[in-house]
Amino acid sequence: MSFVRVSFQVNGSRVSVFVEPRTTLLDVLRKKLGLTGAKKGCDMGNCGACTVLVNGKSRLSCLTFAVQVDGMEITTVEGLSRGDSLDALQESFIRNDALQCGFCTPGQIMSAKFLLSVNPHPTLEEIKRYMAGNLCRCGAYPKIFRAIEEASRGVLSEAR
């Protein structure tokens, strides 16, 4: 097997790892870096549990080879909080009980984070349409949508 060196930033820290070219970003994050927020759900890009931000855009890490993100900036759910302070979206998910079993929650939050970065005040229909790629086995969708709506109101007030 041949290995290649891949270097990128994860949650603000520079990392460099040796991987087989076929190794996914998800496996590097979970197995080599110990960042277990992104989940291996379907491993086929259908559930959204593995969603992370790559250069600020949402990406399914189970479908992304680590070599594809060489030199890029990765943000996982672990990178949203600052010390003991949670991101407003994380707080909103907690406040709205939008995390029943919690398995899909990191992917839901990361997808919502990207949505709010490109559309700070989406309508409920826009939220539903964008979040359709993130599955929740517990059916917490109404609470997830409410959490995103609440966070969007916070995003607007912070921008003013």
CA-closest candidate to residue 49, choices 83, 77, 15: 77
Asked if 70 and 13 sit in the same domain, the reply is yes
pLDDT at 120: 96
Domain match, 100 and 137 both? yes
Q: DSSP secondary-structure letter at 10? A: E
Between β-strands 4-10 and 13-19, what pairing exists: parallel, antiparallel or unpaired?
antiparallel
Residues 12, 74, single domain; the answer is yes
Range of the domain at 119: 88-159
What is the tally of structural domains in the chain?
Answer: 2
| Nearest alpha carbon to residue 15 among 79, 110, 80 | 79
Provide DSSP, 43-72.
Answer: SSSSS-TTEEEETTEEEEGGGSBGGGGTT-
10 and 74 in a single domain? The answer is: yes
Q: Answer yes or no: do 61 and 128 share one domain.
A: no
Q: What would the pLDDT profile of 134-146 be if each residue is shown by its tens digit? A: 999 999 999 999 9
Average pLDDT over the chain, rounded to an integer: 94
Residues 72 and 24 in one domain: yes
The two structure tokens encoding residue 147: 């959490």
The CATH number assigned to the domain holding 99 equals 1.10.150.120
End-to-end CA gap in the chain:
54
Same-domain status, 55 and 110:
no
Tell me, what CATH number does 16's domain have? 3.10.20.30
Nearest Cα neighbor of 112 from 78, 150, 72 is 150
pLDDT, tens digit, for every residue of 49-108? 999 999 999 999 999 999 999 999 999 999 999 989 999 999 999 999 999 899 999 999
Global pTM? 0.93
